[in-house]
Amino acid sequence: MFLLGILLACVEPETEYVTETETVTIEEDLCASILGHQPCDFATFDENGSEVYFSDLMGKPVILDLSTMWCGPCNVAAEDVQAVQNAYPGLTYLTVLIENFEGDAPIYTDLQDWEILHNITTAPTWGGSRDLVTADPIETAGEFYLAGWPTFYFLDDELRIVGYQRGFDQTAIETWAQSLTD
């Protein structure tokens, strides 16, 4: 079975990301998972096993859902992913699965199974690991702060964090989706 390793890393001190309209620079000392900042860039894989970068999402607002396959509320939230993606096509609803049902870092077939189980067809699902998250609300330079499953980050089209939510609340997700696309 083909296993693709997870690559997680903060950006170099000055890394440029070219979007269709502009060049964006994220400096390492400015990236953090706190309001007003851009999170550090990271590389991982999608449901096809292809390498993807968080910075690839630049240019569209993002709902980032950090979930695990074994988490009950994460599974409830996943049932709503495709409906939100369909209702707000100018938005990217990204699920990053941190663990599979066994508590291990997922492989790409786990991501495929997640999408099939929850009828997700156009919203991206990426693999992650515990290296991507931290429980320390102060030291968040290289990881996303996580105090429970699922955790949501709401990012504007320049990938700046504008909101955070621990736990799933369908009404709150819809409100954020509307706010991000207005």
The residue segments making up the domain with residue 73 are 14-181
Assess if residue 8 is contained within a domain.
no
Assess if residue 7 is contained within a domain.
no
Residue 82 has pLDDT above 90, yes or no: yes
In contact, 85 and 127? CB cutoff 8 Å = no
pLDDT given for residue 30 in this prediction: 63
Assess if residue 64 is contained within a domain.
yes
Assess if residue 3 is contained within a domain.
no
pLDDT band at 136 (very low <50, low <70, confident <90, very high): confident
Assess if residue 154 is contained within a domain.
yes
| Domain CATH number, residue 156 | 3.40.30.10
Read out DSSP for 96-162?
EEEE-TTSSPP-HHHHHHHHHHTT-SSS-EEE--GGGEES-SS--SSSEE-SSSSEEEEE-TT--EE
Tell me how many domains the chain contains: 1
Residues 41-54 pLDDT 10s: 999 999 999 999 99
Assess if residue 90 is contained within a domain.
yes
H-helix or E-strand containing 72? Answer: helix 72-87
Q: CA separation (Å) from 65 to 28, 29, 60, 99, 128?
A: 23, 24, 15, 13, 11
The C-alpha atoms of residue 49 and residue 90 are separated, in whole angstroms, by 25
The C-alpha atoms of residue 130 and residue 18 are separated, in whole angstroms, by 29
The C-alpha atoms of residue 108 and residue 4 are separated, in whole angstroms, by 8
pLDDT above 90: percentage of residues in the chain: 70
- pTM for the complete prediction? 0.83
Candidates 92, 77, 79; CA nearest to 120 is 79
The C-alpha atoms of residue 161 and residue 37 are separated, in whole angstroms, by 6
Assess if residue 4 is contained within a domain.
no
pLDDT given for residue 14 in this prediction: 30
Place of tokens 């009950």: 72
